[in-house]
Structure 1
Amino acid sequence: MSLTPQWLDELRARVSLSGLIGRSVRVTKAGREFKACCPFHNEKTPSFTINDEKGFYHCFGCGAHGDVIRWMTDHQGLPFMDAVKELAVQAGMEVPAPDPRAARVAEQQKSLHDVMAAAQEFFVRSLGEDRGAEARRYLASRGFPDRIVREFGFGFAPDSRTALKEALSAFPDAMLIEAGLRIVVEGKEPYDRFRGRLMLPILDPRGRVIAFGGRILSAEKTDAPKYLNSPDTPLFDKGRTVYNLHRASPASRQAGRVVVVEGYMDVVALAAAGIGEGVAPLGTALTEHQIERLWRLVETPTLCFDGDAAGQRAAMRAITRALPLLRPGHSLRIATLPTGMDPDDVIKAQGAKAMEDLLAGARSLVDVLWDAERAAAPLDTPEDKAGLKARLLQHCETIQHPDIKSLYRRELTERFGELAFARKERAPFQPRQGGGASRGKGQPWKPAPPPLGAQDRAKMLKVGTGQSQSLLAAVLSGLIRHPHEIARHADALARLQPEDPAMCALIDALLVESAQGALLETTDLAPILAERELRLPSAEDCAGMRFGFLTGHGEQASDELAEAVALLVELPAVEVALATATQRHEAEFSDETFAEQQRLLQRRLALLARLGQMGRARASL
């Protein structure tokens, strides 16, 4: 049975080391690590540490050291494969079946690591030779100290099509090509990928070279890309690799943050200024896998983007990637640089403290999302404003976690309400005749957003005329009578699309009121809604429906209101499905389509019958 290094790395990442050890040893939290009395030798004071982020345990007393697999073999006494199988069950992973090809791939990757290490030695050596003089001058112009040049492994690729091949003659050309160091063009001899460039190695979390990035030095090569990265190889997947992760991990524990910048030269500039927790994606927008990797280090990484249009687009791409992944406590913060400046420019012009101040002023994801969508298009007309609301709600719908989705919808709806409607000045307080105080609480209410435009409402539930319209009027009257029930039914109300604009505006008003968290009395809510020129449902709108929640209170009224909301949501959905099924039956005329049409018809009749029973409606069908 052959297990690849990638599979084993994934296994180690999925199993919590502290949780595994904590099943048999008492562990205690100590900062970002855990401590325990060493289980491998007798001791009275804890010298055994467990680091989940690094994935290993270590005893400073006896020197015991290992990862989750080593724990299972050394402490639990399991053979290697038995340990792997047991951990795989805990991690929810399938143990690869025996595959001779996997063994060959693992051996191949081991050989490719040797190739990349040899290439790195060649590039570093070339930087120190005469042919690396231009590269050294460039590094000096950037102000990078010698320690930074050595730490990050800067090198130089000579401007030759065969220099690397000649230096690595011990390896066959096929391996150099597979490692991404040489390029094959049909009908031509292979040639070195990196030529005349300042070289920077890209390392995996274990500190092994897996790829390279090269910056062009000659100003004459205007047709060549400024930066060139290795292609995807058996060792390197740019969408899953975070540059400088192996250095940023220990630095992040001290700083309590991770700073994500746009390129690896920005990472080096931050490190030179004393900010060692910088990382970068590699030629692509931040991917879902990279976001998950960063969340293993800190719960809220800080993304640093340029202030120009391209930087703002990059920020929005990162936000849209992150929204579906959000979970409690895990998010992103966005720091925006001055227009036309990268981190190195800021540090050189204003000093490292200025960069620290920019990072400290990073904004929350919801703030940046709101500002970006608000500035994305004009807001001159009601249609423009409805478009903004639709875009914001579309972002909310991508969030998978239900609580976070609800909170984002509430937050953005509140902000939209403040923007879309100007507040009216409230009349000065006047005592009523007889000396009684006004029944209103005197707090200006945020008016409701306008209804969505026709295009933006395509995915919502339409409530037309007839019984469903009367039911809607009754439900809204009930919610005004029982304001504490609004939050319970907010998600259902947000999906409705009444044909009557006045009903649309009233629904949005109730949602905004609920989002504000104000628990108004019914005697307060109705006058305030009317004052904001929102038409309230009348008895005529309800078509004579006499629901109990329109007159009563208590648990029975609450349950009846909930059933009415459920009918309100299901009835238009069934009507749409029935219309679709009827069209299909008319086109196909099969037993299957007829059965589906009849099923939906019966369901519609059952819903209408229940509605009539509940409301004792006077209007006929």
Structure 2
Amino acid sequence: MLTEEFIKELRDSMSLSTIISKKVRLVKKGKNFIGLCPFHNEKTPSFNVNDDEGYYHCFGCGAHGDSISFIRNYENKSFMEAVETISYISGIKLPALNSDNIELLNEKKNLLKLIKLSTQFYSRSLFTLNGKDALQYVKSRGLQEETIKKFILGYAPQTGLKAYLNSEGFRDDILIKAGLLRENSDGSISEVFRNRLIFPIFDRKSNPIAFGGRAMFNSKAKYLNSPNSILFQKSECLYGLSHLTRDDFKTKPLLIVEGYMDVISINQSKIAQGVAPLGTAISENQIETIWKLNNKLVLCLDGDKAGEIAAWRFINRVLPILNIGKEISFAWLPENHDPDDMLRNSNKDHFEAIIRNPSSLIDTIWKILRNKYNDTNPDSKAQLRVEAKKTVNLIKNNDIRQSYMDEVYQRIKDSRTSNQNYLSSDFIKRPSVGRQSILNSIFLILICHPQLVMDFSEKIVKLDFKNNFKNKIVLILLDMVIKNPTIDRNQFSDHLDSLNMSNTLNELDTKLIIKRLGYDPGKIDTKNVSNNFSELLERILNENKRI
């Protein structure tokens, strides 16, 4: 056990700027040093280092701490690992460990060796005759050999691990402690993972510390995870954390997903990075662990009722720990789809458009509450207001709580006029139209008013126009608007011409669409058509839910 006196001596042994300057370019400014913050992407330096007080602080994202916390967060290390790093740099030796600590350390080393040998056994087994079905399965899921080796996927045969580890000198009681063997009610011993595809679970230093196993047969337990141990705590570990690349945080979204295959497929796609909790709801500790790496997190959810329930549970968990500079947004996938499904089934562009245009935290709170309460009814509107205030009050940070409360009050105020007609009285009442007619109307309005993508992107990406060319055109539009938010109709049309895709526009029966709409969207400004466009989107998405 390290004493407070030793920790203080270690902190005082070197100036904070000396330690941080090994990772960040610092410039002297008065008594302090400044530089670009290593914990978020910025162009103007807001990262301050104060040697006299021994702390750093970023005025951009709120990152704050001392030399130990800097090493922990920057290098993704544990407290003891950070202490060891500073001890090595400063030349101050760590105090001798007592007998209890030595015993625990030796036990950890022994288990690490055991899990590593087991990982190698499972990995070899995947490429044997016994593992051919498991190997065929992962390849059918689109995984390349490079990816299989990168995540060291394996196969657990019916038997063989126990004999192998016994031959390496490990007794059965150690294997039971590691969660690799179990004692049955009749006193016999059997291997825990049998006829399962194996996913090694890694610590932050990329050491395998546990396993997840997917059944290759009909089983009540489709997935099994190793039990908790001195190496592995399910509520603290995140699958995929070991494979994150800090340099990619500036350009690729960091996604929280549900399962092993989602993380692996996202990693292979190279369009994002992903982590997943291990069969349980994500904990506050896990959220804060990810925030230390990237201030902006995107939660991927199925766009059905179950996804909405999961989002609400997550919101109630994250609001109390929300701080300035930390963000959470929500990527709503098409119903009954997960990231792995979309990346395997030629929907990579669609998936990328969704994750790059997520719904904000406040938008998601408002959407869920409006789905729950009918805001056209005074009593329901009162209930919505009460629950919105109750939800926002979960935020402990005073500044953020007030900001969210202001936004909630504004939205309640705006909703009072939401039932008014969306267009001027000059427009004729539109006749009822079918599903495909609504899609055609949405498509034509988008072509005439590309800027609408900025306000409705999270809904637009959920649409299927039942026409590959139209779907492609909308994805191209989403991409263009991200790069140029002020794009107009002529610029977009010229771009389609350059791609030889303007024929799709020429094939539209615009006269029929205009007749059914009751107005020509090309002759109305974007502001006046926006409410009508919103209504058409809601109609088609609600229709999708009923199908």
How much does 1:286 deviate?
1.5
Following TM superposition, by how much is the alpha carbon of 1:99 offset from its aligned partner in structure 2, in angstroms?
5.7
Amino acid at match of 1:299: N
Per-residue CA deviation, residues 194-224 of structure 1 (Å, 9 max, x unaligned), is 1111101000000011111111112xx2x42
Partner in structure 1 of residue 153 of structure 2: 154
Q: Which residue of 1 aligns with 2:354?
A: 358
Shift in alpha-carbon separation, 1:154–1:363, aligned structure 2, 3 A: same
C-alpha distance after superposition, 1:213-246 (max 9, x if no partner):
111112xx2x422222112111111111111112
Which secondary structure does the structure 2 equivalent of 1:335 belong to? strand
The correspondence for 1:370, drawn from 366, 371, 377, is 366
- CA shift in 2, pair 1:205/1:17, >3 Å: farther
Offset from partner CA, 1:95-114 (integer Å, 9 cap, x none): xxx76433322221111111
1:79 aligned onto 2:93:
yes
Match of 2:192 in 1: 193
Which of 388, 394, 402 is 1:392 aligned to?
A: 388
Alignment counterpart, residue 245 of structure 1, candidates 241, 247, 257: 241
Q: 1:306 aligns with which of 302, 309, 331?
A: 302
SS of residue matched to 1:80: coil
Gaps of 5+ in 2: 28-34, 40-44, 48-69, 422-547
Q: Cα deviation per residue 1:124-156 (whole Å; 9 max; x = unaligned)?
A: 111111100101110121111110010010100
Cα distance change of structure 1 residues 19 and 318 upon mapping to structure 2, 3 Å threshold: farther
Hey, what's the Cα distance between the residues in 2 that align with 1:116 and 1:393?
Answer: 49
Which deviations, in whole Å up to 9, do the C-alpha atoms of 1:415-471 show, x marking residues without a partner?
A: 12222566889xxxxxxxxxxxxxxxxxxxxxxxxxxxxxxxxxxxxxxxxxxxxxx
> Structure 1 residues 386 and 81 mapped into 2: Cα distance closer, same or farther (>3 Å)?
same
Offset at residue 409 of structure 1 (A) = 0.9
Equivalence for 1:442: none
What's the counterpart of residue 523 of structure 2?
none
1:55 corresponds, among 58, 71, 75, to: 75
Q: Partner of 1:252: helix, strand, or coil?
A: helix
1:512-567 CA-partner distances (Å, limit 9, x unpaired): xxxxxxxxxxxxxxxxxxxxxxxxxxxxxxxxxxxxxxxxxxxxxxxxxxxxxxxx
> 1:203 is matched with which residue?
202
Query: Where does structure 1 lack aligned partners over 5 or more consecutive residues?
Result: 36-49, 58-65, 83-97, 426-621
Question: What corresponds to 1:333 in structure 2?
Answer: 329
Which string of whole-angstrom CA distances, capped at 9 and with x for unpartnered residues, describes residues 569-588 of structure 1? xxxxxxxxxxxxxxxxxxxx
Output the CA distance in 1 between the equivalents of 2:241 and 2:325: 21
TM-aligned CA deviation for residue 19 of structure 1: 7.7
Take 2:393 and 2:21, find their aligned partners in 1: how far apart are those partners?
39
8 Å CA contact 2:252, 2:273 repeated in 1: no
2 CA distance for matches of 1:420 and 1:212? 54
1:52: how far off? 7.0
**Residue 246 (structure 2) pairs with residue 270 (structure 1):** no
Cα distance in 2 for residues equivalent to 1:352 and 1:424: 39
Which digits, 9 at most, give the CA deviation of each residue in 1:564-617, with x for residues without a partner? xxxxxxxxxxxxxxxxxxxxxxxxxxxxxxxxxxxxxxxxxxxxxxxxxxxxxx
The one-letter amino acid of 1:168's match is L
Partner in structure 2 of residue 472 of structure 1 = none
Tell me the equivalent position of 1:128: 127
Q: 1:110-129, aligned counterparts within 5 Å?
A: 110-129=109-128
Is contact 1:255-1:277 (8 Å) kept? Answer: no
RMSD: 3.4
Distance 1:274 1:138 in 2: 22
Residues 413 and 26 of structure 1, relative CA distance in 2, 3 Å threshold: closer
Task: For 1:153 and 1:376, locate their aligned partners in 2 and report how far apart those are by CA, in whole Å.
Answer: 44
Alignment of 1:124-523 (within 5 A): 124-160=123-159, 163-169=160-166, 170-218=169-217, 221=218, 223-250=219-246, 252-275=248-271, 277-379=273-375, 381-420=377-416
Give the superposition deviation at 1:256. 4.8
Is 1:249–1:297's contact at 8 Å kept on the other side of the alignment?
A: no
Which aligned runs of 4 or more in structure 1 are off by greater than 6 angstroms?
Answer: none
Query: Structure 1, residues 19-48: CA drift from partner, whole Å, max 9, x if none?
Result: 85469x98353674899xxxxxxxxxxxxx
Matches within 5 A, 1:86-97: none
For residues 370-417 of structure 1, give each alpha carbon's deviation from its aligned partner in whole angstroms, at most 9, with x where no partner exists.
101211244464322221111111111110000111111111121122
Structure 1 residues 369, 189: CA separation in 2 closer, same or farther (over 3 Å shift)? same
Aligned-partner Cα distance in 2 for 1:377–1:211: 44
CA contact 1:251–1:276 (8 Å) conserved in 2: no
- What SS does the corresponding residue of 2:210 show, helix, strand or coil? strand
Provide Cα deviations, 1:182-204, integer angstroms capped at 9, x if missing partner. 22344432221111111010000
Contact 1:306–1:342 (8 Å) recurs in 2 = yes
In our comparison, the structure showing a higher alpha carbon Rg is 1
How many Å separate the matches in 1 of 2:147 and 2:175? 28
Q: Distance in 1 between matches of 2:181 and 2:37?
A: 47
**1:52-77 CA distance string (max 9 Å, x none):** 754299xxxxxxxx9554444543x4
Contact 2:74 2:293 in 1 (8 A): no
The residue number in structure 2 matching 1:101 is 100
One-letter identity of the residue aligned with 1:148: T
Q: In 2, are the aligned partners of 1:18 and 1:51 still within 8 Å (CA)?
A: no
Distance 1:422 1:352 in 2: 36
The residue type paired with residue 165 of structure 2 is L
Q: Which has the higher contact order (CA 8 A, sep 6+)?
A: 2
Change (3 A) 1:319 1:424: closer
Pick closer, same or farther for the CA change 1:132–1:332 going to 2, 3 Å.
same
Given that residues 336 and 358 in structure 1 are in contact (C-alpha distance below 8 angstroms), is that contact kept between their aligned partners in structure 2? yes
Following TM superposition, by how much is the alpha carbon of 1:321 offset from its aligned partner in structure 2, in angstroms? 1.1
Further displaced range: 382-391 or 262-271 = 382-391
AA aligned opposite 2:409: T
For 1:342 and 1:113, how far apart are their aligned partners in 2? 33
Q: What amino acid maps onto 1:300 in structure 2?
A: K
Report the AA paired with residue 175 of structure 1: I
